[in-house]
Every structure is written in C-alpha cells, then in structure tokens.
Amino acid sequence: MSVKVFDTQEVQDLLKAAANIGADSGNARLQQIVHRLLGDLFEAIDDLDITPDEVWAGVNYLNKLGQDGEAALLAAGIGLEKYLDVRLDAADKAAGTDGGTPRTIEGPLYVAGAPLREGVSRIDINEDADAGPLVIRGKVTDTDGKPVANAIVECWHANSKGFYSHFDPTGAQSSFNLRGAVKSGPDGAYAFHTLMPVGYGCPPQGATQQLLNGLGRHGNRPAHVHFFVTSAAHRKLTTQFNIEGDPLIWDDFAYATREELIPAVVEKTGGAALGLKDDAYKDIEFNVTLTPLVQGKDNQIVSRPRAAATA
Ligand code: MBD
Ligand code: FE
C-alpha cells in the first residue's frame, strides 16, 4: 500500500483540527508543538508505509511504558536527554557562556532531600559486602580558579548491584543510602565517603529494555556518580563522572560519557584513620568549575518531575 495522503487538504485540515490550531482557547505553544509532532508522525506513516498493526503496537507500547514508569528512562536510552545537552552546549558556545566542568545528563534517579553536611559526608548507610570504600573529593572553583565556598554539592550513585536507593527493586537500601549533600568549605573543598558503585542496567522486563532489544542494543551504563552543584552566584551544574576502567565507558546506553569526566581512580591506604571499612581504599579527585550567572540569572535550571523524600 504505497499511497501518499499527507499533503492532501483532508489530512492537513485533520491535523489542524486535532491540534486546535488558531483557536482562542487552549495553550498556543502546546497547540504548535502537537501540530508539528503529530504532523511529523503522520508524514512518517505515509513515507515508511507504517502499517496499522505497527501503529497499534506503538500505541500499546506507550501504555506499557507508562505502566512501568519508564518514560524518563526511555528518554535517556533513546538519546533524547543527551540531545538536550548537545543543544545546551551549542547555546552556551553561541552566547559565549561556555566553560567550566562539562554538563552531562541528570538521568531519572535523583531524589531530593538528602541530609546536608558541612564539607564532608559519609553516605554509605547500608552495608554492602561486595563494594570497597571510595572517597570522592575535590574543590569547587569559579572560571577564574577562585574557590567557591558554600556551594551545595549533591551526589547520588548505585550500589554494588547497580541499584539506586529509593528505586531498588530488592528493597535492600534505606532512603538516601549512597546519596548526599555537602556544603563546600572556605577553600571550596567537599568530600563524600562512600562505596564503589557498579553500572546500572535497565529492568530486563521493562518497556525500555523491550525497545532496546528490538533495536539490538543493550541497556547498560558504566559505573558512574551523579552531581548537582549549586551556588548563589553561579549556574547550577548537572554532571556525572564515570569510574575509570569500566568496559562500558564508551558504550553507555544513555550517551552520558565525556572525555573530561573520567577522573583517575587512585589506590590509597589509610582508610582506617578516615573511618572507612577497609584500610585500602580508592580515591577519586573530582574538581568542579562553575560558570557565572548570565545577566544575573541561572539559565541552567531544568524543571522536571523529581522524586523527593525526607531523611
Ligand atoms: C541511571 O543510573 C542513569 O544515570 C540513567 C541516565 C539512566 C538510567 C539509570
Ligand atoms: Fe545513574
């Protein structure tokens, strides 16, 4: 069935009616976006001769996606979240507001409300026999290299099974395990005492993995640690680093890896004196450079639904 109906008056009128274009009620921006996206979909159905069976498979997929609560996970997996970063990077470059530590995607697993500590926080609340001690520490500076005091450094990461507290299907973690917030000191220093994470894998029976399977892709991420860094006089930074040596570093299903975000993992001793579970531990120095507000405003704040809990 190789018919072309997209450009007919009937179909163009249908699109305008469905999006309610030109009406004096409804949200004009929403009407514009729906008109465009629906039009692109209709045109693709024509161009690729997408069959009714294929359309209904897609419609049903959306139901499963919602039931599984995985829409934001899929957004990471199909590169949509990375695409937003590519656009933000390009906008910064065009405006001359680039510089500082590179951004990379937030992902769907942040939980607001981690207890705030001064300078250093121990965030391994639950025992994890398979994970060795890890110290993450660094300095927050501005683009002139001056320390930024009182920055709020938030981090969150997975346990040795690749699971995040609050979203752990095994129920093995209490709230805010491996999640923390610290205020940088006068010299900009911050530190987290924690345990080495392992990479995340999409739920095997979920809608995201189902699509990835069809594409012949895996749904795994290299081991990584997420950060939000906020400070009154700077733009909020959303970033992550990867654990050096992870075989998936350049094969991340969410495309978050960046050359500048793979700090060295250094073997150290003296963990006992720091209160770590073993004397031998791994140390990662991750220094963060924040960029200034743009005309007094933080244009890097992204509003999206996020989980929240009380510690
Ligand atoms: C993660 O831990 C993550 O960071 C992303 C982007 C997607 C799924 C799980
Ligand atoms: Fe993650």
pLDDT digits (tens, 9 = 90+) for 13-31: 999 999 999 999 999 999 9
Which ligand 1 atom is at minimum distance from the Cα of 254? 6
Q: How far is the CA of 10 from the centre of ligand 2 (A)?
A: 46
Cβ–ligand 1 contact at 76 (below 6 Å):
yes
DSSP label at residue 145: S
Which ligand 1 atom is at minimum distance from the Cα of 240? 4
**Could you tell me what percent of the chain has a pLDDT over 90?**
99
Q: Are 85 and 104 in contact (CB under 8 A)?
A: yes
Q: How far is the CA of 107 from the centre of ligand 2 (A)?
A: 6
**Helix (H/G/I), strand (E/B), else coil: 210:** helix
Q: Are 253 and 219 in contact (CB under 8 A)?
A: yes
- What Cα–Cα distance (Å) separates residue 97 from each residue in 90, 157, 283, 287, 301? 10, 29, 32, 20, 15
> 115 in a domain, yes or no?
yes
Question: Which positions are annotated as active-site residues?
Answer: 164, 200, 221, 224, 226
Nearest CA, atom 9, ligand 1: 200
Q: Beta strands of the chain (E only): which ranges?
A: 111-112, 116-118, 120-122, 133-142, 152-157, 179-183, 189-195, 224-230, 237-242, 265-268, 281-285, 288-290, 307-308
Q: How far is the CA of 278 from the centre of ligand 1 (A)?
A: 28
Phi/psi region, residue 145 (left: phi>0; alpha: psi -120 to 50; beta: rest), is left
Each residue's pLDDT tens digit, 168-190: 999 999 999 999 999 999 999 99
Q: Tell me, what CATH number does 120's domain have?
A: 2.60.130.10
Statement to judge: residues 41 and 83 lie in one domain: no
Residue 311 is predicted with a pLDDT of 84
Cβ–ligand 1 contact at 195 (below 6 Å):
no
Each residue's pLDDT tens digit, 78-119: 999 999 999 999 999 999 999 999 999 999 999 999 999 999
Q: How far is the CA of 21 from the centre of ligand 1 (A)?
A: 37
Q: Are 194 and 125 in contact (CB under 8 A)?
A: no
Statement to judge: residues 39 and 86 lie in one domain: no
**Measuring CA to CA, which residue among 117, 267, 268, 265 is closest to residue 191?**
117
Which ligand neighbours the alpha carbon of 224 most closely? 2
Statement to judge: residues 28 and 86 lie in one domain: no
Rg of the chain on CA atoms, in Å: 23
Statement to judge: residues 86 and 213 lie in one domain: yes
Statement to judge: residues 89 and 13 lie in one domain: no
Q: Are 189 and 139 in contact (CB under 8 A)?
A: yes
> 129 in a domain, yes or no?
yes
Statement to judge: residues 36 and 91 lie in one domain: no
Strand pairing category for 111-112 and 237-242? unpaired
Each residue's pLDDT tens digit, 24-53: 999 999 999 999 999 999 999 999 999 999
pTM of this prediction?
0.97
Statement to judge: residues 200 and 90 lie in one domain: yes
> 61 in a domain, yes or no?
no
Which ligand 1 atom is at minimum distance from the Cα of 81? 6
Statement to judge: residues 42 and 135 lie in one domain: no
Statement to judge: residues 87 and 46 lie in one domain: no
Statement to judge: residues 39 and 97 lie in one domain: no
Q: Domain range for residue 190?
A: 74-308
Cβ–ligand 1 contact at 100 (below 6 Å):
no
Kindly tell me the burial class for residue 137, based on how many C-beta atoms sit within 10 Å of its own C-beta (0-12, 13-18, 19 or more).
Answer: middle
pLDDT above 80: residue 1 = no
> 63 in a domain, yes or no?
no
Cβ–ligand 1 contact at 200 (below 6 Å):
yes
Cβ–ligand 1 contact at 189 (below 6 Å):
no
**Could you tell me what percent of the chain has a pLDDT over 70?**
100
> 64 in a domain, yes or no?
no
Report the C-alpha gap between 93 and 54 in whole angstroms: 41
> 228 in a domain, yes or no?
yes
Which ligand neighbours the alpha carbon of 76 most closely? 1
Statement to judge: residues 132 and 15 lie in one domain: no
Statement to judge: residues 225 and 112 lie in one domain: yes
DSSP label at residue 278: S
> 19 in a domain, yes or no?
yes
Q: How many domains does the chain have?
A: 2
> 59 in a domain, yes or no?
no
Nearest CA, atom 6, ligand 1: 107
- The beta-carbon contacts of 90-99 under 8 Å, at least 24 apart in sequence, are 95/294, 97/291, 97/294, 97/299, 98/291, 99/143, 99/289, 99/291
Q: How far is the CA of 14 from the centre of ligand 2 (A)?
A: 42
